[in-house]
């Protein structure tokens, strides 16, 4: 069956006067992603990378491209407070599973990432940012750069983070002026 002949859910494009229902809006988004992406063989857009940072990059670590090696982009933890961090480097994505030093791994650039979200979030629909130390936090940091990376779709140790590091098209963020 071709992709165009499948019966995918439609998502209404919001207008400025629409009310925001964070939980409901994100439930619709997560449900739509769960319906659309698996038949295509994916739940996210990801990039294969090489970690040559000198340390293991843990699952859930935001990273940036620091170079290339063996045909793959090399990555390091996105950490604006580090003296070796390039302040102009954008966040590539979030590490899917721990990548040991000098090993290849996967970074989720956009889509659904299953991970323990309870270490940084307390509510479904919470906007997740990277703080000045390179850690994921709930809510916009009050100091340093505010780098928005996603929204909590499901709470829990096996929760879901809707990752969108290259601008955000989710309704709550559009209403918030973050896209």
pLDDT single digits (tens) 106-146: 999 888 888 999 999 999 889 999 988 889 999 988 887 77
Residue extents of the structural domains in the chain: 45-108
Rounded distance, CA 96 to CA 92, Å? 12
Q: 108 forms bridges with which residues in the sheet? A: 46, 94
Separation between Cα atoms, residue 109 and residue 131, nearest integer Å: 18
pLDDT tens digit sequence for 69-110 = 989 999 999 988 887 777 678 889 999 999 999 999 999 988
**pTM greater than the 0.95 cutoff:** no
The answer on pLDDT for 160 being more than 60 is yes
């Amino acid at each position: 069956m071709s992709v165009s002949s499948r019966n995918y859910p439609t998502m209404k494009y919001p207008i400025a006067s629409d009310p925001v229902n964070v939980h409901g809006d994100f439930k619709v988004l997560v449900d739509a992603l769960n319906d659309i992406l698996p038949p295509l063989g994916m739940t996210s857009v990801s990039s294969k990378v090489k970690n040559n940072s000198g340390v293991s990059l843990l699952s859930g670590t935001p990273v940036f491209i620091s170079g290339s090696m063996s045909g793959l982009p090399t990555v390091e933890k996105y950490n604006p407070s580090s003296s070796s961090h390039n302040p102009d480097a954008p966040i590539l994505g979030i590490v899917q599973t721990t990548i040991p030093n000098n090993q290849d791994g996967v970074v989720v650039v956009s889509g659904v990432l299953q991970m323990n979200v309870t270490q940084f979030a307390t509510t479904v629909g919470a906007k997740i940012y990277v703080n000045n130390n390179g850690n994921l936090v709930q809510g916009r940091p009050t100091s340093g750069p505010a780098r928005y990376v996603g929204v909590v779709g499901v709470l829990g140790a096996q929760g879901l983070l809707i990752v969108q590091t290259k601008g955000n098209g989710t309704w709550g963020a559009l209403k918030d002026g973050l896209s």
